[in-house]
Structure 1
């Protein structure tokens, strides 16, 4: 059944999905994976991260986390 919607104004979509109306499948177009140590992703005007040692031991056993092949 089609959806009837009124006027829509979208200013910005950053890293999300704007879903309006009927949809069968919503698939991601890109994917990323990031690993980082303690305090490295902190944001703000003044950041103080008191860590004596930071080691990032990442063991990723998944070969494919989110396949995006064919999502055009």
Structure 2
């Protein structure tokens, strides 16, 4: 159903999605990659991780993981 949205001014967005009215298709405008070891991104109270010896492979043989072309 169509909607009427009045004047809006957004100075900055630090993350997330802003949606007004009808939205058929929402797509990401940026991508990123994070390399972390085992047990490093745990959140919560009283965390106990026993990882022993581990290694994180940061070598990325393919150049592009997720292209954002034609997504202006």
Shared fold by TM > 0.5? yes
Q: Which consecutive residues of structure 1, in runs of 5 or more, have no partner in the other structure?
A: 7-12
Partner of 2:44: 44
- Number of residues of Structure 1 aligned to a counterpart in Structure 2: 65
Following TM superposition, by how much is the alpha carbon of 1:38 offset from its aligned partner in structure 2, in angstroms? 0.8
CA distance in 2, matches of 1:15, 1:4: 25
State the superposition RMSD in angstroms.
3.2
CA distance in 2, matches of 1:56, 1:42: 16
Partner of 2:9: none
Partner of 1:17: 17
Following TM superposition, by how much is the alpha carbon of 1:42 offset from its aligned partner in structure 2, in angstroms? 0.6
Is contact 2:3-2:22 (8 Å) kept?
no
CA distance in 2, matches of 1:68, 1:60: 18
TM-score by length of 2: 0.56
TM-score by length of 1: 0.56
Partner of 1:4: 3
